[in-house]
Amino acid sequence: MINKGYCLGLIGFPLDHSLSPTLHAAVLRALDLDGEYHLYPVPPLPAGAAALEDHLMMLRQGDLVGLNVTIPHKQSILPLLDALTPTAQAIGAANTIFYLDGRLWGDNTDAAGFMADLKYLGWSFPAVDNPHALVLGSGGSARAVSYALIQTGWSLTVAARRQEQAQNLIQNIQKFSTSSPNQGGDNQLTAIHLDSRSLIELVPSPDLIINTTPLGMNPYQVESPWPEDIPFPSSQAAVYDLVYNPPETRLISSARKARMLVANGLGMLVEQAALSFETWTGFTAPRNVMREAAKDYRIGTS
């Protein structure tokens, strides 16, 4: 057994872009806690199945105190867990794993982390009853972002290359959301195929566009989820790219040229990491320390 205080880590693939060890090391130092945060590359299933189970066993045995989960395991890990928090169940994805009272739990701090960073950015959206967001992608991060937005009164269009997966995301949100569009509200939830024609013909002018796909990060640095043959819908919209490394993705560069508000996902990374840390340790994570540790990666917001 590893006897080094709070032994934490991240499973996913690839992980060479991850800033999580830097953030958690800064918090551990600031709180004078003994511990380490490791990266555990686990390939997509089925190749990574054995490694995934091995790392969860480390949690059960006490060799690890907590694990974060990122692409591509936020959904595939669910059948291996004993229980889910209400938030993880509603989102249908987990990014935070812990062992408590003999059970392996999955939680999701992405949703709260995303909304906390929007608040931190101070973006103001049109004063309408239900602003509209366009979410690009339909994986675990898309589920978290979509859940957070619909819970706070946004209408939503989810655009994905696999429309069936986007529709499944919508159905899951409708099942668990406390602000369901089918219960008397004006909010709209739709799923479309991510292509130029659908974006032009089927999407109301969005107030916020969020990229939750891996396009823009290694090994897809030269790619963008936004089709190059169509303009952005409005310079009044804001673009939030969950990719944070590189800090200036092709999507953000194009949106900036279109005079849109832009931000990468570094702030969301900080916020979700802080919430995970608090779940594992019971200590309050100093966000200012984490943001300072990540300051070299933050880009401007206009």
Catalytic residue numbers, as ranges: 74
Please give the structure tokens belonging to residue 297.
Answer: 């990666």
Helix 20-30 × helix 266-281 angle, to 10°? 50
Please give the structure tokens belonging to residue 279.
Answer: 């779940």
Bond from prior residue into 247 cis (ω within 30 degrees of 0): no
Cβ partners under 8 Å of residue 144, min gap 6: 91, 93, 95, 108, 110, 111, 114
- Of 117, 123, 84, 133, residue with least CA distance to 275: 117
List 12's β-bridge partners, or say none: 41
Helix ranges restricted to H, the chain? 20-30, 49-61, 86-91, 110-121, 140-151, 163-176, 196-202, 250-257, 266-281, 287-293
Map residue 289 onto helix, strand or coil.
Answer: helix
Q: Is 160:138 a contact under the CB 8 Å cutoff?
A: yes
Length of the chain: 302
Cα 160-241-233 angle, rounded to 5 deg: 65
* Residue 60 amino acid letter: R
